[in-house]
Amino acid sequence: MKIIRATDYKDMSRKAANIISAQVIMKPNCVLGLATGSTPVGIYEQLIDWYNKGDLDFSEVTSVNLDEYRGLRREDPQSYWHFMHEHFFDHINIDPDRINLPDGTNLDAEEECRRYDDIIHAVGGVDLQLLGIGHDGHIGFNEPGAAFELGTHCVDLKPETIEANKRFFDGNEDLVPKQAYTMGIKTIMQARKVLLVANGKDKAPIVKQAFFGPVTPEVPASILQMHPDFTLVCDADALSLL
Ligand code: GLP
């Protein structure tokens, strides 16, 4: 595990964006595993800026996103499809045919999860997986207790996750879908590189627990301690308990 200490959110975003751009430059046809949530937004802004300056070319990149709410249509402003287009894909030259997310409208969970795993397999696995972290240690939507050996699967979201994510749904938790499709921990662990970003004092306790505590399914992100190429980029606040 490599820990990169950033001063603040902007510095964290820039350092993480540097790692992603190195991946894209070194392997233009790489597979990027991408994440939603508020934490990576600054990374996407930085990458867009470098793209606009002519420093980055995403034309050969394939993306596979971590997760999607079950039941939401792509066009839904709260869908992760929409989020990724608004914050990243609409601003770069990625080929729309190479953008992959679980399909929330396919309610046949078994079929959809198999389809998504087949895609990840067909593109040759993930070269670099970007992750945020939930306050309970979830990655993607792998909630505490998630089996480490799962591929893409359908999860029931924990009340705390619904509570944390209601800010994207007009603050109304009744509007937050109760299930999601998520890439599993097995798939995340098979990524050749993993990059997790965290910022803010509210993430300090979980950063300490996940990366300096025991590896346990009760803290899903803790398994990343075992990944052979795992980089943690945090701002000073998120590292303040260490
Ligand atoms: C959601 C996403 C996760 C993300 C987490 C933390 O639950 N499924 O991928 O890491 O939120 O989000 P934030 O970065 O906004 O704290």
| Cβ neighbours around 242 below 10 Å, total | 12
In the prediction, which pLDDT does 165 show?
87
Asked if 134 and 158 count as a contact pair (C-beta separation under 8 A), the reply is: no
Tokens of 76: 């839904």
Closest among 177, 56, 147, 68 to 113, alpha carbons compared: 68
Q: Tokens 């894909």 identify what position?
A: 89
Within a 10 A sphere around the Cβ of 100, how many other Cβ atoms? 19
Q: Is 159 exposed, middle or buried (0-12, 13-18, 19+ CB in 10 A)?
A: exposed
Q: What is the pTM of this model?
A: 0.96
Task: Write the pLDDT tens digit of every residue in 184-233.
Answer: 999 999 999 999 999 999 999 999 999 999 999 999 999 999 999 999 99
Contact call for residues 139 and 35 (beta carbons, < 8 A): no
101: exposed, middle or buried (C-beta count within 10 Å: 0-12, 13-18, 19+)? buried
pLDDT above 90 covers a percentage of the chain that reads: 92
Distance 131 CA to ligand 1 centre (A): 8
Select from 36, 66, 129, 234 the residue to mutate for testing ligand 1; criterion: most ligand atoms less than 8 Å from CB: 36
pLDDT score of 161 more than 90: no
Contacts of 56 (CB under 8 A, 6+ apart): 21, 24, 25, 47, 50, 92
Question: Ligand 1 mean position to 180 CA, how many Å?
Answer: 13
pLDDT in tens, 2-14: 999 999 999 999 9
Q: What is the mean pLDDT of residues 112-121?
A: 98
Cβ neighbours around 234 below 10 Å, total: 26
What residues act catalytically?
67, 136, 138, 143
Mean pLDDT of 76-87: 96
The per-residue pLDDT of the chain, averaged, comes to: 96
CA distances from 207 to 32, 149, 182 (A): 23, 22, 21
Q: Where are the beta strands (DSSP E) in the chain?
A: 2-6, 31-34, 62-65, 67-69, 99-100, 128-131, 153-156, 179-182, 193-198, 230-235
